[in-house]
Amino acid sequence: MASLFKKKTVDDVIKEQNRELRCTQRAISRDRAALEKQEKQLELEIKKMAKIGNKEACRVLAKQLVHLRKQKTRTFAVSSKVTSMSTQTKVMNSQMKMAGAMSTTAKTMQAVNKKMDPQKTLQTMQNFQKENMKMEMTEEMINDTLDDIFDDSDDEEESQDIVNQVLDEIGIEISGKMAKAPSAARSLPSASTSKATISDEEIERQLKALGVD
């Protein structure tokens, strides 16, 4: 019983109209088929009367045939009109659905705009930017303070240790070269003095070989 008093929606009305249009289209097709059958029968009758020389019967049957063909032509026109109405109904239904979707979207946008205050949003973004800048400044100050507390004195000592180690290694290599020098050179004071004295270019070469500029 509840379904009898249920209010029809637009979709329900359009479905009913389309159903009626399809039924009408089928009825027109049946009528056209019947008219075509009668048309063939009249053509046969006219040929039959013509063979026996009954001109009056041929004239009457010819008039009926003309009238029948006009009626068949009308069925095509009506069928085309029904098809056009069905197409228009579908287009209207599609347009109504699009309008409904746009209405829903508009309502959603209105609700969002009510909830979202542009001024508050802008203020929030400005506050975020300001606090972010404060945080960066605070981090920079802390890093500077830590650098002041833990100065690079240890780094200098470590660097000096590395230099000393490199120089020691160079001295070891120089001593090894001197140990391997020919004995004849030792008998010549001037020669031993030239071997013991290492040029600045040699020291720089050794430092570069060890990766120390």
**The pLDDT of residue 199:** 66
Q: Are 80 and 72 within 8 A, CB to CB?
A: no
Name which of 2-11, 26-35, 83-92, 102-111 the model is least confident about. 2-11
Q: Which of 130, 140, 211 is nearest to 169 (CA)?
A: 211
The mean of the pLDDT values for the chain is: 76
- Residue 61 burial (10 A CB sphere; 0-12, 13-18, 19+): buried
Question: Where are the domains positioned within the chain?
Answer: 10-116, 152-209
Question: What is the distance between the alpha carbons of residues 37 and 138, in angstroms, rounded to a whole number?
Answer: 99
Q: What is the pLDDT of residues 53-111, one digit of tens each?
A: 888 888 888 898 999 999 999 999 888 888 888 888 888 878 878 888 888 888 888 88
Residue type, 168: D
What value does the CA radius of gyration of the chain take, rounded to a whole number of Å?
55
Q: Which of 34, 43, 33, 37 is nearest to 64 (CA)?
A: 43
Token representation of residue 39: 């048309």
Distance set, CA 151 to CA 138, 145, 147 (Å): 20, 10, 6
**The pLDDT of residue 187:** 45
**The pLDDT of residue 30:** 92
Q: What is the dihedral of CA 64, 67, 68, 71, to 10 degrees?
A: -160
**The pLDDT of residue 33:** 92
Q: What is the pLDDT of residues 149-207, one digit of tens each?
A: 766 555 666 666 776 776 676 665 555 554 555 544 444 444 444 444 566 677 677 66
Question: What is the distance between the alpha carbons of residues 97 and 100, in angstroms, rounded to a whole number?
Answer: 5
DSSP code string of 8-65: PPHHHHHHHHHHHHHHHHHHHHHHHHHHHHHHHHHHHHHHHHHHHT-HHHHHHHHHHH
CA atoms within 13 A on the CB side of 51: 6
Confidence at 12, pLDDT banded by 50, 70, 90? confident
The segment with the largest mean pLDDT, out of 35-44, 141-150, 186-195, is 35-44
**The pLDDT of residue 4:** 53
